[in-house]
Amino acid sequence: MLREDHKTIKHEFDLWHIVKGVKKRMLQSRNTEWVRTVSNHLWYCVCTCDGDALLLKDKWMSILHHIINVHEWLSAEKMLKCEHEL
């Protein structure tokens, strides 16, 4: 529908397509246990960054810290700890 009814809109940055691509790449690996978690995290990051690209990047990269059970870090510009309660 979007392709036919809204031909002037570029859809390559549509979050659904981005998440689908990430999931597809992850499913190609043998270890698929993190696919849903990573997909959900990407949706969360985009929905809570308020259009701030730096915050989006920091939120997205925070999953690497969270996976290894580190909930505060110094290697980011805008987000230096997880947003959940410890």
Alpha-carbon distance of 38 to 77, in angstroms, equals: 21
pLDDT at 14: 75
Torsion of CA 82, 24, 43, 11, to 10 degrees: 140
Please report whether residue 32 resides in a domain: yes
- Render pLDDT for 8-57 as a digit per residue (tens, 0 to 9): 876 666 788 888 888 898 888 877 888 999 999 999 999 999 999 999 99
Partners of 81 in the β-ladder: 72
Please report whether residue 61 resides in a domain: no
Alpha-carbon distance of 47 to 15, in angstroms, equals: 10
* Cα maximum dimension of the chain: 47
Residue pair 86/71 in contact by the 8 Å Cβ criterion: yes
Please report whether residue 83 resides in a domain: no
Please report whether residue 79 resides in a domain: no
The boundaries of the domain holding residue 39 are: 2-49
Count the domains in the chain. 1
Please report whether residue 73 resides in a domain: no
